[in-house]
Amino acid sequence: MKVKISERLDELASLVRELEEASGEIGAVTIFIGVVRGTDGLGRNRRVLKLEYEAHETLASKVIGGMIEKSKAKHGIIDAIVEHRVGEARVGEEVMYVIVASKHRKEGFKALTELVDKIKHEAPIWKKEVTEEGEYWIEDISGTP
């Protein structure tokens, strides 16, 4: 398991390799990549210039680590890696990786979807949209895909 909250993400291919080399039982690696979108997340049609992320890094790592452990117990996945950026991120840049290794794809897809949702709703990480109209902290992401 690896959780990293940092200004830079590691290279995705090396993270996948890290997981794959850890076990000979892995039959599937499922990946979510969070990318900065050019329009605001709440349907207001504002053009996003950049995002600014802030985190309680110690707590976020702890909370996400706990999510991965629970996911192993619930879905039987073999392991997972989560990385999330803090600081500024421009449109089109990647900001989050969630990588799940499992024996079969079925549990991998389930665990991945659940982990991504949990991280968005429960990990102490916050996002500010910097748009042409001003800067806005995203206060409520319930309902946003």
Partner 1 sequence: MKVKVRFYASLREKLGFKEGVINLEGNDDFPSLIAELKKVIGWKVNIIMDEEGGIRKNLMVSVNNTLINPPELAKLRFKNGDRVDIMPLPSGG
Positions touching partner 1 (CB under 8 A) are 34, 53-56, 58-60, 62-63, 84, 95-96, 116, 119-128, 137-141
Residue 20 or 122 having the CB closest to partner 1: 122
Beta carbon of residue 24, minimum distance to partner 1 (angstroms, whole number): 32
Q: Tokens at residue 118, please? A: 């949990």
Beta carbon of residue 104, minimum distance to partner 1 (angstroms, whole number): 26
Beta carbon of residue 139, minimum distance to partner 1 (angstroms, whole number): 6
Residue 20 or 69 having the CB closest to partner 1: 69
Beta carbon of residue 41, minimum distance to partner 1 (angstroms, whole number): 9
Residue 95 corresponds to which amino acid? V
Characterize 3-17 residue by residue with b for buried, 16 or more Cβ atoms within 10 angstroms of its Cβ, and e for exposed.
Answer: bbbeeebeeeeebbe
Residue 77 or 95 having the CB closest to partner 1: 95
**Residue 140 burial (C-beta neighbours within 10 Å; 0-12, 13-18, 19+):** exposed
Residues 6+ positions from 44 with CB-CB distance below 8 Å:
none
